[in-house]
């Protein structure tokens, strides 16, 4: 047998590990940036009607926003498929008008609202929030909407109401991945369900969102209405909502049912708790090459940490 010996190298010829890793990070970032560039059939910016709103500086980050073409072509919206570009490619099947949102359950004055009625009822404001996803990436997005609290107070929750349950539209004709035969079909139990504790839902940071980047929400981002909870991971932000229900028991959410060992009910951003398949200690802001340290509660700890006083945030993940 012929055995070939590896050539001998001097120490000066061996690439420093730190340099190798930094180059690797740079290449990874460049590849990701290319992947995020809109293709010839993809919309570079939200194309819907413009939506005017006043910037709420008290709840807005001072960081520059992620480019709109990235925020609208790199999405998790499993009703359209499991790949990040599926929502922007396939989102044309969703019909966001006409649309109603049923607000009921443990409420003295339950009501079904037309989406345009909701927009007229509550003054719209723009807030720049960071959206953090469990795959260790994040974006900064100028959302347009109104706090959820005034809507909930309008239906007058009863004393038995402890939680708020959000339900996404169930319609395979509009959401192709809800069809069992769809390529890339998700095993989620449709319709998609998410939930918050009532005090979380009433917190002034919790935003019922109808637009972004100065326009109505694009289909791929949850048109015509979604919730945005900036101190939690992005999957807590239910999209294309058709029902908001006040309940006494903690809702069983879609990701809890699908993978309870990975996705808990609270889903607060906690860098000390790793996802079973990756660390959450750092993240990459979409459009940037470098990684940054993940902040507890996604940087909103001063506003929301008191909601969880005395709780074990590793157990209640």
Q: What CATH number is given to the structural domain containing 184?
A: 3.90.420.10
Is 8 a domain residue?
no
Q: How far apart are CA 200 and CA 195, in angstroms?
A: 10
Is 170 a domain residue?
yes
What's the count of helices (H) and strands (E) in the chain, helices before strands?
A: 8, 13
**Looking at residue 176, what is its pLDDT?**
93
Is 7 a domain residue?
no
Is 2 a domain residue?
no
Is 200 a domain residue?
yes
**Looking at residue 186, what is its pLDDT?**
65
**pLDDT band for position 181 (50/70/90)?**
confident
Is 3 a domain residue?
no
pLDDT tens per residue, range 260-282:
999 999 999 999 999 999 999 99
Show Cβ contacts of residue 201 under 8 Å, excluding neighbours closer than 6 positions.
Answer: 148, 149, 152, 164
Is 314 a domain residue?
no
Show Cβ contacts of residue 279 under 8 Å, excluding neighbours closer than 6 positions.
Answer: 136
The answer on pLDDT for 136 being more than 70 is yes
pLDDT tens per residue, range 293-304:
999 999 999 999
**Looking at residue 46, what is its pLDDT?**
52
| Mean pLDDT over each residue of the chain, to the nearest integer | 87
Alpha helices, DSSP H, located in 155-288: 198-201, 254-258
Task: State the DSSP code for 294.
Answer: P
Counting the structural domains of the chain, the total is 1
pTM: 0.85
Which is more confidently placed, 221 or 42? 221
Q: Do 100 and 167 contact (CB within 8 A), yes or no?
A: no
Domain that holds residue 60: 17-308
Is 290 a domain residue?
yes
Give the three-class secondary structure for 242. Answer: strand
The answer on pLDDT for 308 being more than 50 is yes
Q: Do 286 and 70 contact (CB within 8 A), yes or no?
A: yes
Sign of the dihedral through C-alpha 220, 101, 304, 269: negative
């Amino acid at each position: 047998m012929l055995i070939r010996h590896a050539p001998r190298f001097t120490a000066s010829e061996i690439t420093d590990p730190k340099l190798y890793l930094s180059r690797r990070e740079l290449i990874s970032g460049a590849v990701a940036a290319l992947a995020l560039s809109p293709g010839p059939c993809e919309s570079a910016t939200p194309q819907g009607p413009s939506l005017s709103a006043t910037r709420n500086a008290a709840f807005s980050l001072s960081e520059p926003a992620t480019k709109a073409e990235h925020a609208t072509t790199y999405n998790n919206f499993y009703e359209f498929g499991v790949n990040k570009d599926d929502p922007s490619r396939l989102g044309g099947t969703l019909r966001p008008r006409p649309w109603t949102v049923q607000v009921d359950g443990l409420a003295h004055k339950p009501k079904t609202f037309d989406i345009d009625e909701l927009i007229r009822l509550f003054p719209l404001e723009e807030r720049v929030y960071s959206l953090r996803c469990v795959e260790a990436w994040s974006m900064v997005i100028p959302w347009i909407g109104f706090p959820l609290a005034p809507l909930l107070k309008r239906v007058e929750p009863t004393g038995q109401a402890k939680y708020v349950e959000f339900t996404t539209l169930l319609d395979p004709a509009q959401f192709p991945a809800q069809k069992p035969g769809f390529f890339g079909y998700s095993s989620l139990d449709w319709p998609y369900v998410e939930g918050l504790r009532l005090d979380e839902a009433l917190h002034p940071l919790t935003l019922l969102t109808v637009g972004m980047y100065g326009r109505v929400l694009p289909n791929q981002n949850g048109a015509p209405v979604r919730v945005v909870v900036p101190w939690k991971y992005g999957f807590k932000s239910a999209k294309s909502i058709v029902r908001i229900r006040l309940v006494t028991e903690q809702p069983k959410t879609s990701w809890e049912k699908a993978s309870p060992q990975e996705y808990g009910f609270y889903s607060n951003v906690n860098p000390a708790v790793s996802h079973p398949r990756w660390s959450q200690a750092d993240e990459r802001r979409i459009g940037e090459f470098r990684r940054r340290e993940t902040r507890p509660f996604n940087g909103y700890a001063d506003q929301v940490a008191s909601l969880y006083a005395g709780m074990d945030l590793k157990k209640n993940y």
